[in-house]
């Protein structure tokens, strides 16, 4: 059975975003914990947690940044996976596959902090999954996506790993235009090529084992 993605409008006591921000949206929707709930473009989106291959790609990105941290005294970056990001300015709330934050943000985090804010994130990364990949990509209509939401919120870099066999590859976006909600393409790679994250990260990610879904 194929995974199902649900999105839309519901009869709720408050907006989906307001409930998400307090960690109450799952309860109001009556959802089990194995589902991921986000608010994208003002609508809630429910997706299954991703498969192992998806997680393995994220692990590889995280490992490369972590190795750089171990090898360089005073390395300024820290990596966190599956973290909530509160985009309060646009009324969205995401569960980012992976984010890179500064060491200062990491050290200043408090136990009671539920989410990161966009201004604390230096790079966000998403790995697409079937059938919700459109939520991670550049919008093809006026309906916002996480791509445009990250840009509108000023996240400096967005790394998209697209596992769709029709267009598989890795794209690094940057130079966000907050007014338009758009990014510029800074680099594109096919699976099997080494992805180079430029300064300020200066990390190379080997993708030789990465494959599209159902491959």
- Tens of pLDDT along the chain (215 residues)? 444 455 555 677 888 898 888 888 877 777 665 578 899 999 989 887 778 899 999 999 998 887 765 556 666 888 999 899 999 999 999 999 999 998 888 777 766 677 999 999 999 999 999 889 999 999 999 999 999 999 999 999 999 999 999 999 999 999 999 999 999 999 999 999 999 999 888 889 999 999 999 85
Q: Is 11 exposed, middle or buried (0-12, 13-18, 19+ CB in 10 A)?
A: exposed
Residue the block writes with tokens 């902090």: 113
CA distances in angstroms from 211 to 2, 120, 142, 162, 207, listed in the order given: 19, 31, 30, 10, 9
Examine the domain organization and report whether 56 and 157 are in the same domain: yes
Examine the domain organization and report whether 72 and 31 are in the same domain: no
Examine the domain organization and report whether 34 and 60 are in the same domain: no
Examine the domain organization and report whether 64 and 144 are in the same domain: yes
Q: Which helix (H) or strand (E) holds 60?
A: helix 52-71
Give strand pairing partners of 194.
206
Q: Look at residue 190 in the predicted model and tell me its pLDDT.
A: 97
Q: Which two tokens stand for residue 179?
A: 């007014």
Examine the domain organization and report whether 101 and 40 are in the same domain: no
User: Quick check: 214 and 165 in contact, CB under 8 A?
Assistant: yes
Q: Is 106 exposed, middle or buried (0-12, 13-18, 19+ CB in 10 A)?
A: middle
Q: Look at residue 50 in the predicted model and tell me its pLDDT.
A: 79
Sort residue 181 into left (φ over 0), alpha (ψ -120 to 50) or beta. left
Tell me the three state secondary structure of residue 114. Answer: coil
Examine the domain organization and report whether 66 and 137 are in the same domain: yes
Beta-carbon contacts of 76 under 8 Å, excluding residues fewer than 6 positions away, are 102, 103, 200
Examine the domain organization and report whether 36 and 55 are in the same domain: no
Neighbours of 135 (CB within 10 A): 24
Q: What is the CATH number of the domain that holds 144?
A: 3.90.1570.10
Examine the domain organization and report whether 28 and 97 are in the same domain: no
Q: Look at residue 1 in the predicted model and tell me its pLDDT.
A: 40
DSSP 8-state symbol, 197 = E
User: Quick check: 126 and 160 in contact, CB under 8 A?
Assistant: yes
Examine the domain organization and report whether 37 and 63 are in the same domain: no
Q: Which two tokens stand for residue 175?
A: 């130079």
Closest Cα partner for 178 from 119, 105, 97? 119
Q: Is 107 exposed, middle or buried (0-12, 13-18, 19+ CB in 10 A)?
A: exposed
What's the full length of the chain, in residues? 215
- Domain extent at residue 89: 51-206
- Number of domains, the chain: 2
CA angle 152, 134, 196 (to 5 degrees): 70
């Amino acid at each position: 059975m194929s995974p199902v993605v649900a999105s839309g409008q519901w009869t709720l006591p408050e907006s989906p975003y307001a409930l998400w921000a307090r960690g109450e949206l799952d309860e109001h929707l009556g959802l089990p914990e194995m589902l991921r709930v986000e608010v994208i473009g003002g609508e809630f989106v429910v997706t299954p947690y991703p498969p192992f291959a998806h997680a393995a790609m994220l692990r590889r990105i995280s490992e490369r940044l972590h190795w750089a941290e171990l090898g360089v005294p005073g390395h300024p970056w820290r990596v966190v996976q599956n973290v909530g990001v509160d985009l309060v300015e646009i009324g969205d709330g995401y569960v980012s596959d992976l984010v890179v934050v500064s060491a200062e943000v990491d050290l200043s985090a408090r136990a009671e902090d539920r989410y990161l804010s966009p201004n604390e994130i230096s790079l966000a990364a998403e790995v697409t999954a079937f059938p919700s990949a459109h939520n991670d990509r550049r919008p093809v209509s006026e309906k916002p996506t996480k791509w445009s939401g990250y840009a509108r919120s000023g996240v400096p870099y967005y790394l998209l790993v697209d596992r769709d066999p029709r267009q598989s590859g890795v794209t690094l976006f940057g130079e966000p235009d907050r007014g338009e909600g758009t990014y510029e393409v800074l680099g594109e790679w096919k699976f099997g090529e080494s992805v180079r994250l430029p300064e300020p990260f200066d990390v190379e990610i080997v993708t030789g084992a990465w494959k599209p879904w159902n491959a």
